[in-house]
């Protein structure tokens, strides 16, 4: 099922990642990177729909969970 961040609650892992990415980019003064990107998430596949967000998510998951 696709979860649209503005309409539904993200699962904990995806929400933790979203918060991390927003804070990380703000710390680097690069929050403009997000622009109008959404955090649409496919909970069946455990992936974000937007390629840029998904790329960051893969790295974050690997670091967090040692994958």
Give the sheet arrangement for strand 41-42, strand by strand. 2-3, 41-42, 47-48
How many CA within 13 A on the CB side of residue 39?
A: 20
Q: Please state the domain extents for the chain.
A: 2-65
Residue pair 15/23 in contact by the 8 Å Cβ criterion: no
The pTM of this model reads 0.86
pLDDT at 9: 85
pLDDT at 66: 82
* 25 Cβ contact partners less than 8 Å away, ≥ 6 residues apart: 31, 33, 34
At 3 the pLDDT is 79
Residue 49: per-residue pLDDT: 95
pLDDT single digits (tens) 6-57: 657 899 999 999 999 999 999 999 989 999 888 999 999 999 999 999 999 9
Question: How do beta strands 47-48 and 2-3 pair?
Answer: unpaired
């Amino acid at each position: 099922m696709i979860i649209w961040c503005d309409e539904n609650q993200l699962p904990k892992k995806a929400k933790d990642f979203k918060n991390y990415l927003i804070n990380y980019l703000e710390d680097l003064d690069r929050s403009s990177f997000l622009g109008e990107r959404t955090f649409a998430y496919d909970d069946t596949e455990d992936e974000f729909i937007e390629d840029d967000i998904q790329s960051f998510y893969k790295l974050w998951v690997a670091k967090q969970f040692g994958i």
